[in-house]
Structure 1
């Protein structure tokens, strides 16, 4: 097992947000955390990356307990956190943003960091074309892809994506979720925290439903997606009909075709 959380309780000050969370991510799979805004999904991701310290419980990664390790050490070991809201450095260039993604490695081996940057921008041509551009002028979707690629600069084993579709257009959501599938195909393990339950479960292997800081349901993503209870709470009754009327017919058809291909 790549990552295991055992009885994790965590929060802010003395107020727990997460209560006795148990879950796991295995190598080579996409696991999604589904829940409403404020359910505790982001807090769990922050606890795994070390931005929040658990009050109780244990975190295990590759067979070693890591809940006492600092964030930088977790990053060195291969745990990458792509935060909610992208949080790119808007006044810096693409090249500078990507370089920041390798800050725990730069001092030791600048040559390998530059090589890694070259490899990644060759995979994502729009970044190469704009290496010297400040990213503050990028669209939300372009910034999200940049944030993910910045995370890849650390050469992670586990990539944690917190609300990657937040604020994006339907077409950019397709592009971002295609990128997530591509990362899994390249051997990365993905922990995906998403309010967009339909799209997230469509590409995931397994899912955990979090409500009020507790895991209330877990199972294969396909089973959760087919669950009437999940549909009622997170997809909405008649979600497919509303989905079609809330976008243009052409965009809705493209999104459904993309999701069906997952």
Structure 2
């Protein structure tokens, strides 16, 4: 009986592994195969290995889009975590009138689809002028980054996490003469590393996968992010299946690498209940 149970469990594991691994194998086999492979083929075995599809996709705008996406995600995620952690500290530790209303307003933004505010946001960005160039935020890195700084999820997660930080730690620091910022930087923020790791993973994926915002803001191909470039390649009939899937593969790799790099912090943040608030 136990042998049958174990066999059934392993069969289930194998089935689940096949469901997840087979699509990835199909994409990789199609991208690196010398001969044009059919995507829907059941046994898609690469006929010789080549990097021609990746090289062709790289020179069709993927390199430029990747650079733009890396700039946007690096600056945007840094600002997002900075602003969110400061706002969360104020909401978790400072008592002021209307704190509950502020939190409700922040949570309300999570229920609003981005398509609803897309046109008003574009109009606002078109009226804000940059201090040095004199142009508007449309078709600029500022326009791609600024709307991503204020995201409700990390504020909500970090507020819930900071509320569980023992007040005794802060009181002891205040007795030693520490101010608010020093307490925040030296005590509260290090304790919140698991929650910051969770927010970093979600924030990276949110910024990296943005499509509507860069589609509206970028007016020239040189400002297109990787998602816009990949989408334009998918709609093009001039490129083969291997080239289009190579662009998709390049788009997917950074997200996997970031998750693997922050996996421990991400899991600790989830296990500690940082998402329960």
Scaled to the shorter chain, the TM-score interval is under 0.3
Report which of the two structures shows the higher radius of gyration computed on alpha carbons. Answer: 2
Give the TM-score, by structure 1 length.
Answer: 0.22
Q: Which has the higher contact order (CA 8 A, sep 6+)?
A: 2
Higher strand share: 1
Give the TM-score, by structure 2 length.
Answer: 0.21
